[in-house]
Amino acid sequence: MYFQRNFRWQEIPLHLYPVLYFFFVFTADEEDTVIDSDGRQERAKDKERKKERDRKRRRNVARRASSARKEGKELEDRPEREERRGRKKRDKEGKGKGKGGEDERQEEVKNDTVAKIQKNFSNENTRKLEQKEMEVVGEEDGDTEGKRKNGRSKKDEKKEDKEKHESSEEEEDEEEKEGEEKPDVLSPEELEKLKEEVDERKKLISTLRGKPWPMRKKLLTLRESHEFVEKYEGALGKGKSRKLTVICYRDFENFKTACVPWEMKIKEIESHFGSSVASYFIFLRWMYGINMILFGLTFGLVMVPEALMGRPYGSMPRKTVPRADEANAMDFAVLWDFGGYAQYSVLFYGYYNSQRAIGWLKFRMPLSYFLVGVGTVAYSYMVVIRTMARNANEDGGGDNNSFNFSWKMFTSWDYLIGNPETADNKFASITTSFKEAILEEQESRKDDNIHLTRFLRVLANFLVLCCLAGSGYLIYFVVRRSQKFALEGLESHSWWERNEVNMVMSLLGMFCPMLFDVISALENYHPRIALQWQLGRIFALFLGNLYTFIIALMDEINLKREEEEVLKLNMTIWEASLYNGTLGANSTAPPITVHPADIPRGPCWETMVGQEFVRLIVSDTMTTYITLLIGDFLRAVLVRFLNYCWCWDLEAGFPSYSEFDVSGNVLGLIFNQGMIWMGAFYAPCLPALNVLRLHVSMYLQCWAVMCCNVPQERVFKASGSNNFYMAMLLVILFLSTLPAIYTIVTIPPSFDCGPFSGKSRMFDVIQETLESDFPAWFGKVFSYASNPGLVLPFLLLMVLAIYYLQSTSKSYKQANLELKKKLQTQNEENKKKTKMAAQKAAMDLEEAQNARSESPRQQRNNNASQQSYRGEKNTVAFI
């Protein structure tokens, strides 16, 4: 019996088959008789009861088998079942026949099982069965390689094997149900074991997805394990109605996947252009999600309450278009510039009233406005940092350089690529990356003229710096000029003069990167480093432009505030004159009603800032779309159709089709987001605008990529730069919240517009709320908590905590490295040991052979040893 356990036909030498056959038949018979006698003995003990039950069982089995056959629910189940039945018959008729051994064993097991159940030893029995099964499973898990070599027949055997177990289990189950003498008392050890079994099964179920098996095997194992678990969990008295929750869960998961927008579009692009282009669109979608939430916050908590519950339009000066502008407040040109009615609406800061509570809800408008402003920034920080942390986790902790070559080799092919052109590019880029890596490794790359290279690099950087400075100055100049125009009145100037700032900024953003690209050709860097330089320069350009813009805006804010001071004085004079002119000094007269449009008002610098940002965003969006249409679409059309009548090949030659520039597009997206963060406090409509923009550009760019772009020459990795972009986003977020926070904290709000009018600082709204809406002690606690004596130690504590965490992470890294080293040395030692052992064994064998050849008289001995050797081999095969 011992050698039958894992019987493998393939490993038995052919000439031994006849011997085995007899051996086999003999042992099989013997065992059968043993079992039979066993059964007889058992039956002798309590004949009557058992016989009856036995009969019942047989009937039941037959019935069930037939019903199962009728159902025929599985594809392959039927033939196998029939085969099994056939085998049963064969078995009854007369066993033996070489291959029958396996089946016999199954039958034996079954008989064995039945007998034991009848003895009420069911628990122990199942445990045995389970162990066998686990062995089978474990073995399959363990030596998949070997199994594969042995081909399908063994697999089939195992499958049958499993089926048998299953069926025997089922029978057992039946027996338990029917016999109603189910052992109600289980010994604690058995219970324990059963629990372990169930737990193991559960573990198997949960890890099954990660097993590299064919689907059919997985399904079989899963079904079986589920049956087992269900049955015995019931016996153990826990766990019910799992099926429903599983179905619900699966449906929910499906629903969730179906809810992810643009999944199919992205997949399509992915399959054409590889994962790096798709990563841009995934980034775009992620951005869209964030902006949706920002939009929800500002729209739901600021714009809608003000529009519904605040004072209506026309009730106050800040909510009315001034008399002078009324004539053309509805003109499209004015609206397009976000002047006129657009300026005096919920879209901008100035419209909001400083009334503490509005509507029947007593909604605290100014507080809500302030908190939403802070909340959007806080939320953005949280999301960006969390994503960065997750990406860092996925990177797998450090050692990026240790598998440089292997990664290039094993993971550089992008299986998604389904486009022959992309595939060719990919081949080329992989080849160059191999070559480069080899060159770097050899370090044989000698710069023949290092001075020239250095000079060129310095020159290139100088040129780039000139570009940056020039663009900065240009923006500053243009903004100042526009202020002059604004003072003179916008009507007297042309369209270009009015939109100069935005146009210049957009054009600079469009052409400077091209210039940088040309300049970077001078430097002769490695392409990856060149890309980094390029990104860094564009980043600097955008940032410089943005900050010049902000500095110019600051100047303008100061101008407006001076204007405001003057106006405040004028206001009092105006009011006095109003009173004096009509009623003299009569104080009992009713207050004079002046239409709000006629009341003079301050310049409201907050609205001006908001307007500037909105205009910037709009013009930026327009330039992006227009470049897309002209630079990509028109170019593609021209190249495509002029190619028929041109003197050189346009498609392969100079203009060709445009590539999709992943890094440039991502940078554009990041800066756009930075502007949103900067301006959202003064123009609550900005997130809404951005959502619109992202939505449109998703469709537009998807279309443009599919119809008029060619895959990139150098296909970059998608994930390698993921965190790089995220870090950029974080920097931008920080840099863009800086000016916003600065203006909020230091500059007093306008006196006659916005939710904070009348306060000396915007954050006074917190103080006010604490004083009037919270109990006195809360305010006290807050003031204590916010005094420097408490805040400073707290900050110190945080710094200490950061330091501590960083040092622990460093030490972990160290420990990791050391463990790795240890593992390596141990492996080497093991290797040495096995090598030594192998050598020794080889020496021994050689010696033995030498000895044998020296004494040819020992022929018989030799034969015997060979035979024993063969026997060994066979037993090895059996075991």
Partner 1 sequence: MGTTASQLGKDLLSEYQRFSELLSKEDRNLTSVPMEKVLSLPELKSNPFRKRICHVFSTSDMKDGSLTFEDFLDLLSAFSDSATLEIKSHYAFRIFDFDDDGTLDGGDLEKLVNCLTGETEDSRLTPEEMRQLISNILEESDIDKDGTVNLSEFQHVISRSPDFVSSFKIVL
HEC assignment per residue over 121-163: CHHHHHHHHHHHHHHHHHHHHHCHHHHHHHCHHHHHHHHHHHH
| Amino acid at the residue 672 | N
Q: Give, in order, the Cα–Cα distances in Å from 434 to each of 437, 439, 440, 443.
A: 5, 9, 10, 14
For residue 10, the Cα-to-chain-centroid distance in whole angstroms is: 47
Please, is 772 exposed, middle or buried when counting C-beta atoms within 10 Å of its C-beta (0-12, 13-18, 19+)?
Answer: exposed
Contact 457, 522 (CB under 8 A): yes
Contacting partner 1 (CB under 8 A), which of 5, 55, 435, 840?
A: 435
Can you name the residues that pair with 364 across neighbouring β-strands? 357
Residue 172 and residue 388: Cα distance in Å, rounded? 55
The reply to whether 258 sits near partner 1 by the rule CB under 8 A is no
- 860 CA to centre of own chain: 72
Segment 117 to 176, residues that bind partner 1, using CB under 8 A: 145, 148-149, 151-152
Kindly tell me which residue out of 34, 361, 385, 438 binds partner 1, with binding defined by CB under 8 A: 438
Residue number with CB closer to partner 1 (317 or 711): 711
Residue 423 binds to partner 1 (criterion: CB under 8 A):
yes
- Stretch 799-818 residues interacting with partner 1 (CB under 8 A): none
**Other beta carbons within 10 Å of 573:** 9
User: Which of 424, 497, 649, 713 lies at the binding interface for partner 1 (CB under 8 A)?
Assistant: 424
419 binding partner 1? (CB under 8 A): yes
CA dist 25 to 28, 102, 223, Å?
5, 12, 35
Mark the segment that binds partner 1 (CB under 8 A) among 4-12, 266-274, 294-302, 728-736: 266-274
Distance of closest approach, residue 835 Cβ to partner 1, in angstroms: 9
What b/e readout covers 82-99, taking b as 16+ CB neighbours within 10 angstroms?
Answer: eebeebeebbeeebbeee
DSSP for 722-755 reads HHHHHHHHHHHHHHHHHHHHHHHHHSPPPSSSST
Q: What secondary structure, in 3-state letters, does 153-219 show?
A: HHHHHHHHHHHHHHHHHHHHHHHHHHHCCCCCCCCHHHHHHHHHHHHHHHHHHHHHHHCCCCHHHHH
**Is 326 near partner 1 (CB under 8 A)?**
no
Query: Counting contacts by CB under 8 A, is residue 206 touching partner 1?
Result: no
In the complex, what is the shortest distance from the CB of residue 702 to partner 1, in angstroms, rounded to a whole number? 15
For residue 807, CA distances in Å to 5, 397, 480, 546, 776 come to 56, 15, 50, 37, 43
Quick check: 405 binds partner 1 (CB under 8 A)? Answer: yes
Cross-strand bridge partners of residue 363: 358
| Residue of 130, 172, 270, 500 that binds partner 1 (CB under 8 A) | 270
Q: Which of 237, 420, 789, 856 binds partner 1 (CB under 8 A)?
A: 420
From 15, 70, 209, 484, residue interacting with partner 1 (rule: CB under 8 A): 209
Q: Which stretch binds partner 1 (CB under 8 A): 115-123, 378-386, 394-402, 741-749?
A: 394-402
98 binds partner 1 (CB under 8 A): no
The verdict on 256 binding partner 1 (CB under 8 A) reads no
The tokens for 798 are 């945080």
**Dihedrals φ, ψ of 658, to 5°?**
-80, 150
Which residue, 169 or 270, has its beta carbon nearer to partner 1? Answer: 270
| Position among 823, 837, 841, 848 found at the interface with partner 1 (CB under 8 A) | 823
Half-sphere exposure of 426 (CA within 13 A, CB side): 21
Pick between residue 264 and residue 585 the one whose CB is nearest to partner 1: 264
Among 79, 94, 214, 489, contact with partner 1 (rule: CB under 8 A): 214
Q: Contact with partner 1 (CB under 8 A): which of 570, 627, 809, 830?
A: 830
Candidates 60-68, 410-418, 598-606, 739-747; binding stretch for partner 1 (CB under 8 A): 410-418
Binding segment for partner 1 (CB under 8 A), chosen from 129-137, 418-426, 770-778, 795-803, is 418-426
441 binds partner 1 (CB under 8 A): yes
Indicate whether 450 belongs to the interface with partner 1 (CB under 8 A): no
Report the residue from 403, 473, 699, 778 that binds partner 1 according to the rule CB under 8 A: 403
Q: Should residue 59 be labelled a site residue for partner 1 when binding is judged by CB under 8 A?
A: no
Q: Could you please report the per-residue DSSP string of 587-656?
A: TTSPPPP--GGGS-----HHHHHHHHHHHHHHHHHHHHHHHIIIIIIIHHHHHHHHGGG-SS-TTTSSS-
Site for partner 1 in 346-365 (CB under 8 A): none
| SS3 (DSSP) at 493 | coil
CA–CA distance from 211 to each of 208, 218, 589 (Å)? 5, 8, 91
Among 58, 177, 216, 595, binds partner 1 (CB under 8 A): 216
Closest distance to partner 1 from the beta carbon of 596 (Å) = 59
Q: Does 394 bind partner 1 (CB under 8 A)?
A: yes
Within its chain, how far is the Cα of 723 from the centroid? 12
The size of the interface with partner 1 (CB under 8 A), counted in residues, is 65
Q: Binding partner 1 by CB under 8 A: which of 4, 6, 150, 412?
A: 412
Q: Which is nearer to partner 1, 106 or 721 (CB)?
A: 721
Binding mask 707-726 for partner 1 (x = CB under 8 A): ----------xxxx-x----
Per the CB < 8 A criterion, the answer to whether 277 and 662 are in contact is: yes
Shortest Å, Cβ 278 to partner 1: 9
Least distance from C-beta 415 to partner 1, angstroms?
Answer: 5
> Does 836 participate in binding partner 1 (rule CB under 8 A)?
no
Q: How far is the CB of 13 from partner 1 (least distance, A)?
A: 22
Determine how β-strand 709-710 pairs with β-strand 658-659.
parallel
Q: Which of 415, 496, 648, 777 is the binder for partner 1 (CB under 8 A)?
A: 415
Tell me whether residue 212 or residue 581 sits nearer to partner 1 (CB atom): 212
Nearer to partner 1, 99 or 149 (CB): 149
Nearer to partner 1 among residue 334 and residue 727 (C-beta): 727
Phi, then psi, of 77 in degrees rounded to 5? -60, -40
CA-to-CA distance for 705 and 510, rounded, in angstroms? Answer: 19
844 Cβ contact partners less than 8 Å away, ≥ 6 residues apart: none
Contact with partner 1 (CB under 8 A) among 97, 267, 390, 813: 267
What minimum distance in Å lies between the beta carbon of 709 and partner 1? 18
- The answer to whether residue 850 forms part of the interface with partner 1 (CB under 8 A) is no
Minimum distance, C-beta of residue 399 to partner 1, in the bound complex (Å): 7
Residue 10 binding partner 1, by CB under 8 A: no
One-letter amino acid at 176 equals E
Contacts of 110 (CB under 8 A, 6+ apart): 164, 167, 168, 171
Helix and strand totals (H; E) in the chain = 31, 4
Which residue stretches of 360-412 are H helix?
365-394, 404-411
- Using CB under 8 A, which of 115, 277, 301, 417 touches partner 1? 417
For the CB of residue 418, give the shortest distance to partner 1 in the complex, in Å: 5
Closer residue to partner 1 in complex, CB, 435/870? 435
Segment contacting partner 1 (CB under 8 A): 175-183, 517-525, 606-614, 820-828? 820-828
Question: Site for partner 1 (CB under 8 A): which residue of 11, 36, 399, 598?
Answer: 399
Cβ neighbors of 66 (< 8 A, separation 6 or more) are none
Q: Where along the sequence are the contacts to partner 1 (CB under 8 A)?
A: 75, 145, 148-149, 151-152, 209-212, 214-216, 267-268, 270-271, 274-275, 394-396, 399, 402-407, 409-420, 422-424, 427-428, 430-431, 434-435, 437-438, 441-442, 717-720, 722, 823-824, 827-828, 830-831
